Structures are given as structure tokens and as C-alpha cells.
A and B are shown apart, each in its own frame.
Chain A
């Protein structure tokens, strides 16, 4: 079964804390996307990974292909980072994205 599982479902943090969101996925997924969705709807694509590590500003995404696991890290978190973070696996045989259930992050000042 093609699956993407995320944890935790909800996360609260104080401003400045280091945050990690985890994602595990099943066989058949060739790339992992990390997406951010703010209240009100719009989705922003943060990273697409098929190996290694990517960094953009305070965001770092890593993927371990052998363990089928990816993490999204936020350094020096800020209240504006409050959003839902979604990992989505790209299925190589159907070209579809399989979405995780999302992690709702709240960063308090």
C-alpha cells in the first residue's frame, strides 16, 4: 500500500526553538515533497527531495532513502512559521502525489 505518515500531528513551540517534523513513506515513492499551508488556504512548495539534504534559509530537509524517512527542520522558529506542514510522496508509477495528514505547528512569541 502506498503510504505517507507524518508525526507529530500537532506541535507547539516557543519562538527560537529548533523544530523537527518527521515523515515515513512506503515503497514506490521516488521523491518527497515538503509543503507549507497557512490558514486561508494557499500551499507553498518548500522542497522536493530524492536524496540527501536541502537548505533554504532557516529550513532544512533531509531524506534517508534506505530507511524511507524524511525530516523537515526549522531553526530559530518564529511565530510566522505557524502553519500546517505537509509531506507528500511522489509515486513513480502513476505520477501522483500521496499526501501525509499534515503537522499543525504553532510558534508562540
Chain B
């Protein structure tokens, strides 16, 4: 069982929809991460939150909007996505920025 919980596990949405991905951890970790992973490729970093503040944004298009409402929760709001945004979206957390990351099982996103 993973200690980082991501919901939903699968999401299919149209290009005009608005949806959100959710990530939750109760390990007291203060750093949380969003990654995007295409098939047979390594994960690509999207965003990093440290102490609930956005510290890294890897030039991600504005149709992806992260939010960290508290130290346990991380959301990724999606709007007007493109078919090439179909991927596995992974959340991770670590006690601090330079510590091992714990990954969730991911949300598999398909854009129609």
C-alpha cells in the first residue's frame, strides 16, 4: 500500500472539460511534487511545493494549475487540455526537498 494516495486512478476527459487530480499524504512531509510520465519514458518534473509554497514550475503550460491547500494535500487543476497531455500523472512527497521521495500510484489521464 502506498503512503501517497492519488485520486482518481483513471480519468478520461474532453478538451473543454475542467477536472482536478488530487494527492494526499499524512507522513508530515513538507515537499510535494507533480510529475508527468509518457509511456516508456522517465517521469518529467512539473511542479514542486515546499512548505505549501510553489518553489519550482518547470515552464508548464497554464492549462495545468497546481494548488497546495495545506501540508497534506496537493491538487492539479486541469482545463482545456490537449490530446498530447494524455499521460500518467504522478505525485510524490518527501520530508524535505533533498530527501527520498515517496510516490503515489498515479492518475492515468486520457484526453479525447
Contacts and interface: CB of A to CB of B under 8 A. Distances in A.
Chain A complexes with chain B: yes
Interface of A: 30-31, 33, 35, 40-45, 48, 86, 88, 90, 92, 94-97, 99-102
Contacts of A44: 103
A97 B45 contact: yes
Interface residues of B, number: 23
B42 A101 contact: yes
Contact of A42 (B2, B40, B41, B99): B2
A45 B45 contact: no
A95 B92 CA distance: 14
B98 A90 contact: yes
Interface of B: 2, 37, 40-43, 45, 48, 56, 88, 90, 92, 97-106, 108
A49 B94 CA distance: 15
A86 B42 contact: yes
Main secondary structure of the interface of A (DSSP, over half): strand
